[in-house]
Amino acid sequence: MFDSWGNVNVPLRLIRRLAGNRSTEVIVTLAPNWFNRRENLEPDRLDMVFGGPQYWEPANREQDTGERWRAWLDTYRGALRRAGFRYQLHFQVVPKTGLPLYLVYGTNSDRGVEVMKDAMWKVDANDGIGFADPRTRGAPLPGQQTLLWGGPEHPELLELVQQRLNEGPVSLEDLKRWLLFETARWRARDAAPAVRELLDMGAVSVEPPGKLTRDSVIRLR
């Protein structure tokens, strides 16, 4: 675990060495002020962390404060990917009190991702700590305005599934893998309940109709 304490300073060459060991996992913490204090850039340090200006300069050009932290998080996730980590998750930790914290996690193990997410759900339930996916922006779901009851149980999950479906139809099996390996905290087991809720909302269609199977194809209406 690398705690940045407001500054990302882990050389990319070290991350590459760690990624070369299949059993190694890394977690890098990023404090909120790191995304804001870019007035006095240290290009040499950023090159050391990201591998060159072509990788970090696009994030630094982001002017929207609401999107800036997402851009830098995604950029650091890309650094872990280039270093050789097969899976990279980035998420926001939201405590009951105090400022949020941002984490980027890298691993080469399918099972490692599953264990990490199970641990996140246990911490969430026991300590009241929330985990948010940087991709979510509170976008309304198709058909959501027509609901007569209180709204979806897990709006973040449904928004993420909608984002994936915006890219095109997907099988239930591929949706399971996408949720597991691409989102901050959602697991393969969450795919089918999300699809059923979207079906009830009239937001998606499933082919062939009837019982959901791993080969069922889901698309936005």
- 127 with 30, same domain: the answer is yes
- 91 with 192, same domain: the answer is no
The kind and range of the H/E element at 104 are strand 101-107
Report pLDDT digits (tens) over 198-208. Answer: 999 999 999 99
Nearest to 185, CA basis, from 110, 115, 138, 126 = 115
pLDDT at 27: 92
- 78 with 180, same domain: the answer is no
pLDDT at 108: 95
Number of neighbouring beta carbons within 10 Å of residue 62:
17
Query: Does residue 138 sit within a domain?
Result: no
Q: Rounded to an integer, what distance in angstroms lies between the CA atom of residue 96 and that of residue 74?
A: 25
Sheet holding 217-220, edge to edge: 170-171, 217-220, 204-207
pLDDT at 151: 42
- 165 with 186, same domain: the answer is yes
Q: Rounded to an integer, what distance in angstroms lies between the CA atom of residue 30 and that of residue 53?
A: 20
pTM value? 0.81
Nearest to 194, CA basis, from 148, 146, 147, 162 = 162
Q: Name the pLDDT band for 61 (thresholds 50, 70, 90).
A: confident
